Amino acid sequence: MAQNELPGGDCSPGPGEIMVIGLGPGREEEMTPRARQALARAEVIVGYRTYIDLIASLVAGREVVVTGMTGEVARCREAVARAAAGARVAVISSGDPGVYGMAGLILEVLAGHPRGKEIAVSIIPGVTAATAAAATLGAPLMHDFAVISLSDRLTPWEVIARRLELAAAADFVLVLYNPRSHGRPDHLRRARDIVLQYRQPSTPVGVVRNAGREGEEAWIRDLATFLELPVDMVSTVIIGNSQTRVLDGRLVTPRGYRL
């Protein structure tokens, strides 16, 4: 701060700070105090519109830099430029910023910036969609699981399909992020068909829309029928392994304790 108070001239400010913050699923009661404190300290908040809206009351009075969902690179460059100019910048992701969030891209952009090494950076974890959705459904992630994004915007479908196939063969519980969008209406059916080569049609499947935030909806179906559900980009899909069952309306993957 002291540098900014010096009278003008050639004085360039010392580098600032970037805090990459996981907001958690969306409800304020599931955001960690560490994330909340970091937001309170920030001078500039950078994020996708939907996430900014989740925390509107917490960012009041500060400068907000909003970009569209596909403007990730521009958003990170802006955040790094602002930090290099001396600001304390919060970059926000829903869930955990290290799971398909902004943490990696920020570190990549920092590594390519001439003042990147001088900028303090902290990554503040949050409750990720996989475990928020699991908690709503019951306890489907009690055994080994694989997290796979069905988005082929940055990953060839062949890579995604191979991961689905090997993870299904290995009997991992599967957590699918970005399961369906207008640009890829058919990915979820293709994923289902791959998994059906290895699992029974009766394998339980849970779907949660808006996990842990306003408007949350959850369903439990099976591999044969879950495609009927209104799965979209704000949904998380959890496909059980060979041991997963439905107990009193909840999805449970036993760890193997003898009862």
Site for its own copies in 229-248 (CB under 8 A): 247-248
Tokens linked to 21: 């913050």
Rounded to a whole number of angstroms, the minimum distance from the CB of residue 196 to its own copies is 17
Residue position matching structure tokens 């439905």: 246
Tokens linked to 23: 């907001």
139 touches its own copies (CB under 8 A): yes
Site residues for its own copies, 145-164, by CB under 8 A, read: 145-149, 154-155, 159-160, 162-163
Q: What is the CA radius of gyration of the chain?
A: 21
101 touches its own copies (CB under 8 A): yes
Q: What ranges make up the beta strands (E) of 32-108?
A: 44-48, 63-67, 88-93
144 touches its own copies (CB under 8 A): yes
Binding-residue total with its own copies (CB under 8 A)? 80
Stretch that binds its own copies, among 61-69, 186-194, 217-225, 250-258 (CB under 8 A): 250-258
Q: How many angstroms separate the Cα of 25 from the Cα of each of 14, 131, 187?
A: 34, 9, 24
Select from 1, 28, 41, 49 the one that contacts its own copies (CB under 8 A).
28
Question: What H or E segment, with its residue span, contains residue 19?
Answer: strand 17-22
Select from 15, 126, 179, 240 the one that contacts its own copies (CB under 8 A).
126
User: Greatest CA separation found in the chain?
Assistant: 75
Are 115 and 132 in contact by the 8 Å Cβ rule? The answer is: no
253 touches its own copies (CB under 8 A): yes
19 touches its own copies (CB under 8 A): no
Select from 13, 14, 34, 227 the one that contacts its own copies (CB under 8 A).
34
